[in-house]
């Protein structure tokens, strides 16, 4: 990333919300559940599957975590009622992880139990490194009780290969992604090659163990290598899937689907769209530069 790109990324939080909303709406299904339903239905009609995510994290009040619990359960009910091909992704800090461990565990258990009753599945997202141990502990506890819960892991964390090796003993269901949180070099790889090498090692470990994996990437090299491993291990289309974010490289998702692979689209929605949008833009300096340019163009025109 160039010095200019770094400057743009760091100053993104100064850009007014209306401008961020305009440029990031392609990544967000909307603020409310009916909007997300429309997006998922349109994706299903094109043979994509989905995972729905109620935006919001780092909750520090119990009543807000309980509200989020209710929203997640409503999503599961709506998926069934609307006959959508989608599961649910959740973040533990939106359900109280920064408040109380047992409170969070009970909230997640309630969601996973409801998903099981509806023949659906819940994916626990991985957040920053301060939450990693607790996230894995909650996942392991619930995995012993329920078969319909999976975990996201991040290839840029140095510990992840060991974590996955341990979790494979329990026939876990994974989403493998690169990771987007800013972490110190002591615990996280920084070079693209190291991150990608770790990513491919994780996919191969999971394939060797005959566990299910969601290959979550927009990286052409990683997709090519994943194709190679799928052929090497003679994986059938129901033994893995690819995953991409809503609005990111639609031509890529179309091609993967045309190549005969399952493709799941991550569909975020909700009123807490701003923080998510800033993170997406920070991953895409080119788009962030357009936002920043628009900001100053508007200011200078006043």
**Treating both helix axes as pointing N-terminal to C-terminal, what angle do 220-232 and 250-258 enclose, rounded to 10 degrees?**
20
Distances from the Cα of 256 to the Cα of 8, 45, 89, 247, 264, angstroms: 32, 16, 22, 15, 10
Clarify whether 175 is annotated catalytic. Answer: yes
SS3 233: coil
Active-site residue, selected from the candidate residues 125, 143, 264, 280: 125
3-state secondary structure of 214: strand
Coil, strand, or helix at residue 302? Answer: coil
Buried/exposed code over 187-196 (b: 16+ C-beta within 10 A; e: otherwise): ebbeeeeebb
Count other Cβ atoms within 10 Å, centred on residue 274: 15
- What is the DSSP secondary structure assignment for residue 157, as one 8-state letter? B
User: Distance between CA 55 and CA 38 in Å, rounded?
Assistant: 17
125 part of the active site: yes
DSSP 99-153: T-HHHHHHHHHHHHHHHHHTT--EEEPP--GGGHHHHHHHHHHHHTT-SSEEEEE
- Among the options 123, 175, 253, 264, which is catalytic? 175
Residues that are catalytic: 125, 175
């Amino acid at each position: 990333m160039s010095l200019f790109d770094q400057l743009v990324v760091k100053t993104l939080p100064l850009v007014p919300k209306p401008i961020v909303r305009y440029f990031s709406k392609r990544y967000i299904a909307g603020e409310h559940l009916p909007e997300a339903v429309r997006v998922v239905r349109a994706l299903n009609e094109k043979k994509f599957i989905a995972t729905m995510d109620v935006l919001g994290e780092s909750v520090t009040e119990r009543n807000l975590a309980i509200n989020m619990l209710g929203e997640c359960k409503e999503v599961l009910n709506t998926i069934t009622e609307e006959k959508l091909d989608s599961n649910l992704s959740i973040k533990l800090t939106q359900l109280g992880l920064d408040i109380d461990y047992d409170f969070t565990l009970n909230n997640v258990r309630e969601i996973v139990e409801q998903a099981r009753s509806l023949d659906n599945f819940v994916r626990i997202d991985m957040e920053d490194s301060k939450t990693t141990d607790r996230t894995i502990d909650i996942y392991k506890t619930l995995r012993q009780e329920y078969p319909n819960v999976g975990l996201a892991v991040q290839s840029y964390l140095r510990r992840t290969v060991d974590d996955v090796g341990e979790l494979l003993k329990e026939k876990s269901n994974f989403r493998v992604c690169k990771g987007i949180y800013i972490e110190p070099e002591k615990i996280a790889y920084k070079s693209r090659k190291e991150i990608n090498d770790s990513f491919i090692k994780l996919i191969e470990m999971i394939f060797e163990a005959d566990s299910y994996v969601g290959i979550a990437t927009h990286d052409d090299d990683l997709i090519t290598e994943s194709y190679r491993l799928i052929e090497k291990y003679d994986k059938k289309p129901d033994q893995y899937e690819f995953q991409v974010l809503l609005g990111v490289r639609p031509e890529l998702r179309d091609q993967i689907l045309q190549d005969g692979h399952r493709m799941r689209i991550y569909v975020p929605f909700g009123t807490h769209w701003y923080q998510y949008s800033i993170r997406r833009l920070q991953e895409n300096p080119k788009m962030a530069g357009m936002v920043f340019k628009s900001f100053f163009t508007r200011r200078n025109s006043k």
